[in-house]
Amino acid sequence: MKIYNKYIGAIALSLVLTGCRAPMATVIKDEVKENLPQNFNQEEQQDANANSGTTPWRQFFTDPNLVSLIETALKNNQELLITLQEIEIAKSGVLAKKGRLTPTVSAGIGAGVKKAGRYTSEGAGDATTEIEPGREMPDPLGNFEGGLMANWEIDIWKKLRTEKEAAVAHYLSTVEGKNFVLSNLIEEVADNYYELLALDNQLDIIQQYIKLQERALEISKIQKEAAAATELAVKKFEAELAKSKASEYTIRQDITEKENEINALLGRYPQPIVRTKESFMSTMPPTVYTGIPSQLLANRPDIKQAELELKASKLDVEAARKEFYPSLEISATLGLEAFKPSYLVKLPESIASGLAGELAGPLINKSAIKANFQTADAKQIQSLYEYDKTILRAYLDVANLMSKVKNIDQYYQMKSQETKALDQSIDIANQLFRNSRADYLEVLLNQRDALDAKMELIEAKQKQLSTVVDIYKSLGGGWK
């Protein structure tokens, strides 16, 4: 009989192990990372020791007003505060997975009553049993108990450890996600700050242009009275003046909206933005050093976040695969139990204990486990694509911005020359107009061209400064 039971146990165990055969995960290869170019510009060699992405933002930005705005944003920005709570959620997930590695111990008390049928084995046994000599078993039979209960899943396949490692990787990815939000926030504040300064300078230009138009209008009226100009010239100058004043109100509205946009990033209600507009056009952007592309993998928080999510997804696949294996659970109880509360203190008769171990695994109808594994496997592949996309986007960002920095510098130089030439032409045209040697159209066209050139020059300065901020962020700067 013992040999028979041994064979039955061996057959059952072999069936469990056979039925728990796990499928293989998809093998993924990261070709984008392996084929990352050595330089951003293949025609130029970059110095690996010079990388602006490692420069702390307080050293990169020198405008004290901008630094103050960034500090306020880092304290109050709602998106950043939301991200910090995501970190706390992920941290709780790590604690939950870690808790499954240790036994669960609980304490409890209970009471109940039971009456067994007289013509049952239990009822017949109770009827013929005496608790003490001359004292029959109570009917109905009460039950009072209290004690400790423990349950523990033995991590024989390291499935629980794998789940904990996946939770840790996800937690670390949320930390990198917070760093990426920091980097983006600093970039947004700086870009909007420079746009606001540009609007301030454009407002000054349009106000100067309005004064110029008012003088031109006065001259045209004087010339009309002297029969040196016509009513048409006067009306043209009046129309140009009205157009300029309308543009002034448009710029004022843009300034209000830009101030409120910055206030929103700072997490506060509308209030004036402290700034100094006079030095805007003379501000020189800092020199940016790009380093080499491989440094993006260590400097950019979004790449590190995607890499950690990829690691977490691989661990999730491994944990889902181990769900096909048998699990070993141990349960134990220790306490006091009696049919009458007064008997609970009678020791050791009232002591009750139990110890059980269970090895069980899925045998048939494993569709739910298979679906969970397939989902984890698909997410692993999806995470790889997301990681590759992040690396590729980061490389292209830097490459595009490097080209933009060079071109916007040249554009700014050409616009500066254009502005100087048009300023001189305005003086010449006005002098000729006063002497009746040029008509009003020449004066108007010169003034319009000069205004447009100055507006574009201011925009070029703003783009010059913002592009440097953008490439600083693209290199992984801003969160340190």
Residues 319 and 173 in one domain: yes
Question: In this structure, how many other beta carbons lie within 10 angstroms of the beta carbon of residue 114?
Answer: 12
- Write down the pLDDT at residue 424: 85
The pair of structure tokens assigned to 330 is 């141990």
What are the helix and strand counts (H, E) for the chain? 12, 6
Q: Is residue 310, in this structure, part of any structural domain at all?
A: yes
Nearest CA to 163 out of 102, 104, 96, 97 is that of 97
Q: Is residue 391, in this structure, part of any structural domain at all?
A: yes
* β-sheet with 327-338: strand ranges across: 104-114, 141-154, 327-338, 351-360
Residues 149 and 253 in one domain: no
CA distances from 419 to 47, 103, 319, 450 (A): 37, 78, 67, 6
The residue length of the chain stands at 480
The pair of structure tokens assigned to 430 is 């006005």
Residues 348 and 432 in one domain: no
SS3 354: strand
Residues 294 and 443 in one domain: yes
Residues 419, 408: Cα–Cα separation, whole Å: 16
Q: Which of 313, 340, 360 is the last residue of a domain?
A: 360
Q: Is residue 339, in this structure, part of any structural domain at all?
A: yes
Residues 322, 333: Cα–Cα separation, whole Å: 29
Residues 408 and 266 in one domain: yes
Residues 332 and 450 in one domain: no
DSSP assigned state of 345: G
Q: Is residue 13, in this structure, part of any structural domain at all?
A: no
Residues 293 and 391 in one domain: yes
Residues 328, 287: Cα–Cα separation, whole Å: 62
Residues 275, 354: Cα–Cα separation, whole Å: 75
CA distances from 14 to 1, 3, 5, 17 (A): 20, 17, 14, 5
Q: Is residue 95, in this structure, part of any structural domain at all?
A: yes
Residues 412, 417: Cα–Cα separation, whole Å: 9
Residues 240, 353: Cα–Cα separation, whole Å: 99
The pair of structure tokens assigned to 366 is 């494993």
Q: Is residue 82, in this structure, part of any structural domain at all?
A: yes
CATH number for 252: 1.20.1600.10
Residues 290 and 145 in one domain: no
The pair of structure tokens assigned to 480 is 């340190």
Q: Is residue 146, in this structure, part of any structural domain at all?
A: yes
Cα-trace Rg, the chain: 39
Strand partners, 363: none
Residues 449, 107: Cα–Cα separation, whole Å: 86
- Write down the pLDDT at residue 11: 44
- Write down the pLDDT at residue 480: 80
Residues 244, 247: Cα–Cα separation, whole Å: 5
Query: Is residue 333 within 8 Å of residue 352, measured between CB atoms?
Result: yes
- The amino acid occupying position 149 is M
DSSP assigned state of 477: -
- The amino acid occupying position 125 is G
Domain span at 182: 27-101+167-194+246-325+366-475
CA distances from 461 to 411, 416, 454, 455 (A): 10, 10, 11, 10
Q: Is residue 371, in this structure, part of any structural domain at all?
A: yes
Residues 340 and 460 in one domain: no
- Write down the pLDDT at residue 467: 96
Contacts of 249 (CB under 8 A, 6+ apart): none
Residues 90, 94: Cα–Cα separation, whole Å: 7
Residues 108 and 59 in one domain: no
CA distances from 2 to 5, 7, 8, 9, 317 (A): 5, 9, 10, 11, 42
Residues 440 and 456 in one domain: yes
Q: How many domains does the chain have?
A: 2
Residues 283, 187: Cα–Cα separation, whole Å: 18
Residues 400 and 317 in one domain: yes
List the chain pLDDT tens, one digit each, 480 residues.
444 454 444 444 544 454 457 788 888 777 888 888 988 875 566 677 889 999 999 999 999 999 999 999 999 999 999 999 999 999 999 999 999 889 999 999 988 888 888 788 877 777 777 777 777 778 787 888 989 999 999 998 999 999 999 999 999 999 999 999 999 999 999 999 999 999 999 999 999 989 888 888 888 888 788 777 788 878 888 998 999 999 999 999 999 999 999 999 999 999 999 999 999 999 999 889 999 999 999 999 999 999 999 999 999 999 999 998 998 899 999 999 888 888 888 888 889 999 998 888 887 778 889 999 999 999 999 999 999 999 999 999 999 999 999 999 999 999 999 999 988 887 787 777 677 666 666 777 778 888 899 999 999 999 999 999 999 999 998 888
- The amino acid occupying position 95 is L
The pair of structure tokens assigned to 406 is 């060079």
Q: Which of 360, 381, 415 is the last residue of a domain?
A: 360
CATH number for 333: 2.20.200.10
SS3 149: strand
Question: In this structure, how many other beta carbons lie within 10 angstroms of the beta carbon of residue 374?
Answer: 14
Nearest CA to 382 out of 312, 320, 318, 324 is that of 312
